[in-house]
Amino acid sequence: MHEVEGGGFGGVTTTAAPQGRMNDLRFQVQNLTRVEGEGSLHLLVRDGAVAEARLQIFEAPRYFEALVAGRTPNEVLDIVSRICGICPVAYQMSAVHAFEDLFGVEVEPSTRALRRLMYCAEWIESHALHIYLLHAPDFLGYPSAVEMAKDHRQLVADGLRLKQIGNHLLATLGGRAIHPVSVRVGGWSRAPRKAQLSALQPALHEALRLARATVDIALGLTPPAFEREPRLVALHNPREYPMNDGRIVSNDGLNLAPQAWGEAFHEVQVPWSNALQARGADDLPYLLGPAARIVLDAEQLHPLAREALQASGALESIRRNPYRSIVARAIELVHATADAIDIVDAYEPPDRPAVEWEARPGTAAWATEAPRGLLFHRYQLGDDGKVAAAVIVPPTSQNQAAIEADVAAFAPRVLDLPMDAATHQLEQLIRAYDPCISCATHFLDLSIQQAPS
């Protein structure tokens, strides 16, 4: 897998295609880096034009949907977080809401607020990770944040600090930042004390300041000129920026309840990938994530984040240029930090950590907004209150087809470049989606194949 020392993007190889035709050429970018998980990219070039882009996810499958069968709802919350170490909260949230929706559980208002706070914490740490450690080095020309820190120490230190504050908040709520343990159907195993959260306020204010500075930094990073008209999908809630709760909407008029995800979308398996891909009812790709949310939910942003968006004037470029997702993430950082401050201010601990509930058989389904976009869960519960079947559709598997389409559209301009420059540009494009391959099962090698006409 890893054959090349000291730079480049793993094994960039040129080999004859299996058919052995002279003009078949397959390029492989093995193991995309600075993404979560393992995968590769293959390009099929036919008569000098890109015929097809295939995002191959070779993260070994772990069969989560089978592993949750026979489990109780609370056990499911612990298990599904392991789908992704980067966004475990998202998995716990989609699942817990699905169960509570089926069981008719009314959680206490403070529980609802705390869940949103927990999601804010995850957005902060995940977005800070992606902006500063994974994506910014692309724009500034470094192989990693560590190398970038040699010239931009404060920049990296600020990013780490932001991430740390998100992690601290998450650990306060969940015991630890990765795979937190406190989320339970009906509420929490233990709710934080008021003083515990208040103690975090100075750090959260610092995070807000750093987040606002991040917007300026992101705006200063020049995106390659590449635009397209994506179909965007996100949750929408007229009362708040979508995290835990909203209807599924799109920029082409979709509007349905989160439980009804399956009416508008479906999953398919493609032979080159261990991850299932999701498509619209028309079989076309769609795009989730920060850019989709910013475009579809701009009105619901926290006033401070809305102000940052307006000042940036970047709304249209966020929609059209995938590289501008870094600006969208920065604006969402402002939103998450500002929202967290408000929630902590208003927090009053619930009377009891969790309300009583009783399992019911039926279909439990819900969608929430993971840092990378809409995450849909559907569980079939049997009479014994245990899961009989499950469908989990992570954002990256929904974005996969969209990424392939964008890569196919972008690729012609790099075909004449030297291989390492070509792969670098393609990888940078893929990273713009913050693909989380562990989730999708997971990521990334590039191959370019010349096919016969």
Partner 1 sequence: MAPETRVPSRAAAVNRPRVGVVKFASCDGCQLTILDLEDELLALADRFEFVEFAEATSRRSSGPFDVLFIEGSISSPEQVVEIARLRAATKTLVTIGACATAGGIQALRTAAEHEAFRHAVYPAPAFVESLAVASPVATYVAVDAELRGCPIDAHQLVELLTAVTTGRRPQLPDQAVCLECKRRGLECVVVTRGEPCLGPVTQTGCGAICPGMGRGCYGCFGPREGANVDGLARWFTDGPALGSLEPGDVGRLFAGFTGGAPVFRGVTDRLGGRPLIQLRPAGAYPPELAEHNPPRWGSAGKEGLDA
Site for partner 1 in 410-439 (CB under 8 A): 410, 412-413, 427, 438
- Which stretch, 110-118, 131-139, 326-334, 364-372, contacts partner 1 (CB under 8 A)? 131-139
What is the signed CA dihedral for 217, 218, 219, 221, rounded to 10 degrees?
Answer: 90
Nearer to partner 1, 157 or 346 (CB): 157
Nearer to partner 1, 103 or 323 (CB): 323
Considering the rule CB under 8 A, would residue 38 count as an interface residue with partner 1?
Answer: yes
Least Å distance between CB 272 and partner 1? Answer: 8
Q: Which of 21, 176, 194, 360 binds partner 1 (CB under 8 A)?
A: 176
What is the signed CA dihedral for 114, 120, 126, 128, rounded to 10 degrees?
Answer: -140
Considering the rule CB under 8 A, would residue 228 count as an interface residue with partner 1?
Answer: yes
Q: Which of 2, 19, 154, 253 binds partner 1 (CB under 8 A)?
A: 2
342: left (phi over 0), alpha (psi -120 to 50) or beta: alpha
- Which stretch, 16-24, 162-170, 309-317, 369-377, contacts partner 1 (CB under 8 A)? 162-170
Nearer to partner 1, 367 or 393 (CB): 393
Distances (CA, A) of 112 to 108, 244, 350: 7, 9, 10
Per-position b or e across 151-163, b if 16+ CB within 10 A of its CB: ebeebbebbbbbb
- Which stretch, 105-113, 144-152, 299-307, 308-316, contacts partner 1 (CB under 8 A)? 144-152
Q: Which of 16, 60, 260, 311 binds partner 1 (CB under 8 A)?
A: 60
Closest CA to 133 of 165, 167, 156, 161: 156
Nearer to partner 1, 192 or 242 (CB): 192
Q: What are the backbone dihedrals phi and psi of residue 373, each rounded to the nearest 5 degrees, phi first?
A: 130, -170
- Which stretch, 99-107, 112-120, 296-304, 382-390, contacts partner 1 (CB under 8 A)? 382-390
Closest CA to 431 of 35, 11, 137, 142: 35
Considering the rule CB under 8 A, would residue 227 count as an interface residue with partner 1?
Answer: yes
- Which stretch, 203-211, 239-247, 296-304, 404-412, contacts partner 1 (CB under 8 A)? 404-412
Q: Which of 15, 144, 201, 310 binds partner 1 (CB under 8 A)?
A: 144
Considering the rule CB under 8 A, would residue 3 count as an interface residue with partner 1?
Answer: yes
Least Å distance between CB 299 and partner 1? Answer: 25
Site for partner 1 in 87-106 (CB under 8 A): 88
Considering the rule CB under 8 A, would residue 129 count as an interface residue with partner 1?
Answer: yes
| Amino acid, single-letter form, for residue 322 | P
Considering the rule CB under 8 A, would residue 48 count as an interface residue with partner 1?
Answer: no
Site for partner 1 in 249-288 (CB under 8 A): 266-272, 274, 276-277, 279, 283-285
Considering the rule CB under 8 A, would residue 79 count as an interface residue with partner 1?
Answer: yes
Dihedral (CA of 388, 269, 262, 119) sign: positive
- Which stretch, 21-29, 149-157, 209-217, 445-453, contacts partner 1 (CB under 8 A)? 149-157
Number of residues that bind partner 1 (CB under 8 A): 116
Nearer to partner 1, 304 or 381 (CB): 381
Considering the rule CB under 8 A, would residue 201 count as an interface residue with partner 1?
Answer: no
Distances (CA, A) of 128 to 86, 122, 303, 439: 12, 10, 20, 19
**Rounded to 5 degrees, what angle do the CA atoms 14, 16, 19 make?**
150
Considering the rule CB under 8 A, would residue 189 count as an interface residue with partner 1?
Answer: yes
Per-position b or e across 95-126, b if 16+ CB within 10 A of its CB: bbbbbbbbbebebbebbbbbbbbbbbbbbbbb
Q: Which of 66, 260, 311, 417 binds partner 1 (CB under 8 A)?
A: 66
Measure the CA–CA gap between 91 and 367, rounded to whole angstroms: 10
In the numeric block, which tokens belong to residue 289?
């994530």
Q: Using DSSP, state whether 250 is helix, strand or coil.
A: strand
Nearer to partner 1, 142 or 240 (CB): 142
Q: Which of 90, 177, 334, 336 binds partner 1 (CB under 8 A)?
A: 177
440: left (phi over 0), alpha (psi -120 to 50) or beta: alpha
Q: Are 47 and 446 in contact (CB under 8 A)?
A: no
Q: What are the backbone dihedrals phi and psi of residue 435, each rounded to the nearest 5 degrees, phi first?
A: -65, 135
**Residue 133 DSSP one-character state:** I
Which H/E stretch holds residue 320? Answer: helix 315-320
Least Å distance between CB 164 and partner 1? Answer: 4
Considering the rule CB under 8 A, would residue 35 count as an interface residue with partner 1?
Answer: yes
Residues 305-344 as x/- pattern, contact with partner 1 by CB under 8 A = ----------------------------------------
Closest CA to 86 of 58, 118, 135, 125: 125
Closest CA to 244 of 116, 105, 55: 116
Site for partner 1 in 339-368 (CB under 8 A): 353
